[in-house]
Amino acid sequence: MAKRTSKNASAAKSNAEAAAIHDQKMQRGEGGELHQFADADSPVLTTAQGGPVTDDQNSLRLGARGPLLVEDFHFREKIFHFDHERIPERVVHARGYGAHGYFETYNSLAAYTKADIFQRAGEKTPAFVRFSTVAGSKGSFDLARDVRGFAVKLYTREGNWDIVGNNIPVFFIQDAIKFPDIIHSVKPEPDSAFPQAQSAHDNFWDFISLTPESMHMIMWVMSDRAIPRSFRFMEGFGVHTFRLVNAKDESTFVKFHWKPKLGLQSVAWNEAVKINGADPDYHRRDLWEAIKSGNFPEWELCLQLFDQDFADKFDFDILDPTKLIPEEILPVQPVGRLVLDRMPDNFFAETEQVAFMTQNVPPGIDFSNDPLLQGRNFSYLDTQIKRLGSTNVTHIPINAPKCPFQHFQQDGHMAMRNPVGRVNYQPNSWGEGPRESPTQGFRHFASEEQGPKARLRPESFADHYSQARQFYISQTVAEQHHISAALTFELSKVKTPVIRERMVSHLFNIDETLATTVGTRLGFKTMPKPADAAMPTRQDLEPSPALSIVENGPKRFEGRKLGILATDGVEAVLLNALTAALTKEKATFEIIAPKIGGVTASDGHWVEAHQMIDGGPSVLYDAVVLFPSADGIDDIVQEAAARDFVADAFSHCKFIGYSEAATPLLEKAGIAGNIDGGVIRIASVKDVRAFIGDLGKLRIWAREPSVKLSKASTPVK
């Protein structure tokens, strides 16, 4: 035993020395990024052609805040190789689900943009939307802790406009040259090919802990934003700063927000894990059933509009994709609504083959010099060509414009149409074919750019912790607990101690209580020092309630689903009153019974069941009601699935309605002595109405500290 202890101590010393040597090899750039420079003991990073690389953190641009330069061969090689890594599945956002719909403009925005889609109030533009997870493969599950893609294709009269966004308004990295690295780190490790659709492993947290610019995004990903209840209850963001350009060639900066009409909602982590086991297609099924039943989901497109003066005075650089503009500082303006009303006729032909590209914009929409956006514009066409096998991606119906189009492009793999006649070029003497139009054509905003041609990161990008702190303090107490629990869980799966310590050192720059809670839960004997920061964390940023899911909940049960556990003899009057009230509320329900056939109600009529108890756990519902009969309770009270149905609903802080006959089941589930305001007895039609009125709160978060499942998330005092 003594020898083994000695070896362990020696190994720990060796690891510590290795970590110290590693840290000495790293230096921080002006923007706060970490550079790992080669020395005599390490190989030099090169291009695929063998050329040594000077800087792998920043793409080549004109000035620190200027546009990306096409001659950046290192970036081109790196991003193009990344784009071509997988066939035919998307490298990222592989698991997706889409729907058709339309966008309706509220009022003319001609003062800001000449984009045709915003010229006429009430005009409807066809749309296709694809929701997705980022890290997992096509066959992964829906409720992974992950960023959600929120990509909208608008078939405008002036060509397709793709708003290729996420459900989180910021991103992990500031420069697109790092995109292959962040995705490589979160994907299954190349030697073992696991874990799938998970970030809880060494590679991901090693990269994150070495990339301070990711700290704001990490707060979002460790929050409940990364485990949404439904696509329908999820925000979307354009992430980047874009430009609107009007007919006078005047520019206004803009950020795009999609706000769900049904409010925000997520699930608990323990709930997400169980949903993945019970129904790995949970999000897909939810969207399919909502649209097929006529409950069409809606979002409002809201804009944050600002000029150069605002940009110059704002606390952070508006070109930095790891930053946002709080809505309390710059309110959003609703300009239209997005409605999804039709599912694809064929998943592969439409959802799988749809190609979104950030560079697809109509006249009147233009780009900023956001370095991540500039890189995405450079990359997306290539990745779609690789994935779909041809430059003729627009010949696929889902990608084809719905407005007239004409050009001289021809031939190529899978060409479905070609120029007609002798002319396939211009200028030509035959007076045939399309011609360019200086008045109608797309014109980039004529911004003036200057600066050295170099690989640079502006100093205005260097504050990596202040907005991360602002996001954290903007959450409710329950949401803060979920963030600390998520960080604890994820880092507990990291096997390398130095990575865990490095990550907690970053957390100290965000919130000391958060860092101490996570470090304590991980078993740290001593806490690490705060990480070196390029800029100190600001303590004066006010909380932004718009960043909290709980503060932006629905306040009503519309669009949600109630699970009703029933047996033979269920009280018909109460059941009928409950289902009628749910229909009036525009909510849905499912009957869960001992047998899939159904049950006989107290008045003798047959009630069809949607689920058996074993196949319909309470995690699939937003709230539950227990309506067994006095005779039927004996048939289910001894079943583990029935007890779990109740215990899980209680642990996940859901509302539980129950009849008197269900009391033994509450006792078996262990909650009879813990009944709170969210466990409501229903004995009359009046009680039904009151219960439905309470459901808009969705959760009783005050219950969570007393629930054993959530004790790991309570902060250390």
Residues serving a catalytic function are 93, 166
Answer whether the bond into residue 326 is a cis peptide, omega within 30°. Answer: no
**Closest among 621, 609, 620 to 566, alpha carbons compared:** 609
Three-state DSSP at 493 gives: coil
Total number of residues shown for the chain: 717
Three-state DSSP at 454 gives: strand
Answer positive or negative: Cα dihedral of 346, 351, 357, 362.
Answer: positive
Query: Can you tell me which residue has the tokens 């997706």?
Result: 96
Cα–Cα distances (Å) from 445 to 239, 245, 250, 378, 632, in that order, read 20, 7, 8, 18, 71
Q: What's the CA gap between 672 and 654, in Å, rounded?
A: 15
Amino acid at 135: A
Cα–Cα distances (Å) from 64 to 37, 58, 419, in that order, read 22, 10, 44
Q: Angle 705-706-708 (CA atoms, 0-180°, nearest 5)?
A: 95
Three-state DSSP at 619 gives: helix
627 close to 598: Cβ distance less than 8 angstroms: no
SS3 labels along 65-80:
CCCECCCCHHHHHHHH
Q: What is the CB neighbour count within 10 angstroms for residue 496? A: 14
**Closest among 192, 194, 277, 262 to 229, alpha carbons compared:** 262
| Dihedral angle of Cα 112, 116, 120, 124, to the nearest 10 degrees | -130
Cβ neighbors of 47 (< 8 A, separation 6 or more) are 53, 73, 74, 77
**Closest among 149, 144, 143 to 166, alpha carbons compared:** 149
**Closest among 454, 446, 365 to 68, alpha carbons compared:** 454
205 close to 494: Cβ distance less than 8 angstroms: yes
Three-state DSSP at 105 gives: strand
- Concatenate the DSSP letters of all residues of 255-317 into one string: EEEEEETT---B--HHHHHHHHHH-TTHHHHHHHHHHHTT---EEEEEEEEE-HHHHHHSSS-
Q: What is the CB neighbour count within 10 angstroms for residue 1? A: 5
Beta-sheet strand order (sheet of 656-658): 611-612, 588-593, 561-566, 623-627, 656-658, 679-681
601 close to 575: Cβ distance less than 8 angstroms: yes
- 240: alpha, beta or left? (left if phi > 0; alpha if psi -120 to 50): beta
24-61 per-residue burial string, b: 16 or more CB within 10 A, e: under 16: eeeeebebbbbeeeeeeeeeeeeeeeeeeeebbbbbbb
Q: What is the CB neighbour count within 10 angstroms for residue 498? A: 18
234 close to 143: Cβ distance less than 8 angstroms: no
